[in-house]
Amino acid sequence: MILKDELSKILRSQRKGIEYRKLGTLRQDLEKIQPLVNFAIVISGIRRCGKSTLLLQSMNREEEFNYLNFEDPRLTEFVLRDFEILEEVFLTDYGESKIYYFDEIQNLLGWESYVRYLLDNNKKVIITGSNASLLSRELGTKLTGRNLRMELFPFSYLEYLEYFGKEGSSDSFHDYLLKGGFPEYLRTGMDEVLQNLLLDIIARDILFRHTLKNSRVITEIAVYLLGNISREFTLTNLQKTFNAIGSVTTIASYMEFLEDAYIIFTLPRHSYSQKSRQINPKKVYGVDNGFIRANSNGFSDDYGRLLENYVFIELRKKYRNIFYFRERGECDFLVKEKAKITKAIQVCYEITSRNKEREINGLLEAMKFFELNEGFILTFQQDDEIILEGRKILIIPAWKYEY
């Protein structure tokens, strides 16, 4: 339990802190935050990608609001029943408000009950969190049908351009492919920022939350996966690689933890059978190219895999059902909307005489399989159009493609 005077001091301190913070580069996702009565807006994403700044930008549009950041170490004694005290302090110190902002709310056990109470009393609530499944599970208990979800990623290429005041070009896109979009890294240029971020996420969002003790093993798995983006893996092969881990079930749990913390994403192979999708090899991708490069080896000149990772993240921002295709050939990405595959996309840094047949044939096979008349090959800077067997293949620089 926390004392009323202590809570009042913390709130004043946090308010003073956000008053002096700069709004930063306006995020493209800001327009998605339209506070609604009876609905909680839930923003999730990896740590340090800009969720708190996005809240600040949203708060800047409001005249009156209540705000509390649960990452504050002074709130370690705060428990669910203290929300009654919190309401008193909000009212006494800041007056009546219809809008509530809560940062990293998953740190508080039972938070969803309080959010439901606010919604039932016609309040507007915007919350952030760094753990995907934790938020999903708790939203499902008390807030089913009462929440609108959105995910925030590090800066997009367009936000990167705005941050540095640059124009879209092959040169600036090449720079972005290597640096990625974590704001703090872009400000400092220090790889240590992204290396420390990985360790911090593992410590706070995985080890602490799941009461694990072996930080070395899960860190090694994370680094290994980040070093193998765009490549296939199976849980069995991972278990053999890290033979200190006792079972495939343990590896599966670790993979789930890494995905929940937004460190990695996995891409299933397309199959109409749910069972086949579970047992087929998956591909792995990382949340940000700079984060990948700083925490793994071998990416100083592997622009092809960095480009493929960029395309995956851009697709992942918009679509939930994404697959890769493998039959005789391979197509990097299929997008499924409702019950139908609507897009087939191949990624190739540069089409040459050596790889042209393979890249085109893999894409064309997928287009025929799903009866698509149009497919795409996304490149670094090549731009062209090919008509084969009555089907159109558009070759487009990845940074110009409209995802």
* Chain position carrying tokens 């004694």: 77
**272 & 192 share domain:** yes
**46 & 178 share domain:** no
What pLDDT sits at residue 134? 62
Q: Range of 392's domain?
A: 319-403
CATH number, domain of 254, equals: 1.10.10
**283 & 352 share domain:** no
> 126-184, pLDDT tens digit by residue?
999 998 866 666 677 778 889 999 999 999 999 999 999 999 999 999 999 999 999 99
CATH number, domain of 101, equals: 3.40.50.300
Domain boundary (264, 291, 318) is at 318
Output the pTM of the full model. Answer: 0.94
- Whether the CB-CB separation of 49 and 130 falls below 8 Å is answered with no
Question: In the predicted model, what is the mean pLDDT of residues 186-202?
Answer: 98
Domain boundary (118, 151, 184) is at 151
Domain count, the chain: 3
**164 & 313 share domain:** yes
Q: Which DSSP string corresponds to 114-149?
A: HHHHHHHTT-EEEEEES-HHHHHHHHHHH-TTSEEE
**176 & 286 share domain:** yes
> 117-127, pLDDT tens digit by residue?
999 999 999 99
Q: Is the dihedral of CA 184, 188, 189, 190 positive or negative?
A: negative
CA–CA gap between residue 314 and residue 399 (Å, rounded):
10
CA–CA gap between residue 360 and residue 364 (Å, rounded):
6
**206 & 300 share domain:** yes
**277 & 182 share domain:** yes
β partners of residue 151: 44
SS3 336: strand
> 210-258, pLDDT tens digit by residue?
999 889 999 999 999 999 999 999 999 999 999 877 789 999 999 999 9
**61 & 130 share domain:** yes
% of the chain surpassing 70 pLDDT:
97
> 45-87, pLDDT tens digit by residue?
999 999 999 999 999 999 999 999 999 999 999 999 999 999 9
Sequence letter at residue 173: F
**8 & 137 share domain:** yes
Domain boundary (291, 318, 345) is at 318
Q: 215-226 and 248-260 helices cross at what angle (nearest 10)?
A: 70
CA–CA gap between residue 298 and residue 372 (Å, rounded):
36
What pLDDT sits at residue 131? 83
**111 & 14 share domain:** yes
* H runs (alpha helix) in 21-124: 51-59, 83-94, 111-120
What is the distance of C-alpha 282 from the center of its chain?
A: 18
**53 & 132 share domain:** yes
CA atoms within 13 A on the CB side of 327: 12
**161 & 48 share domain:** no
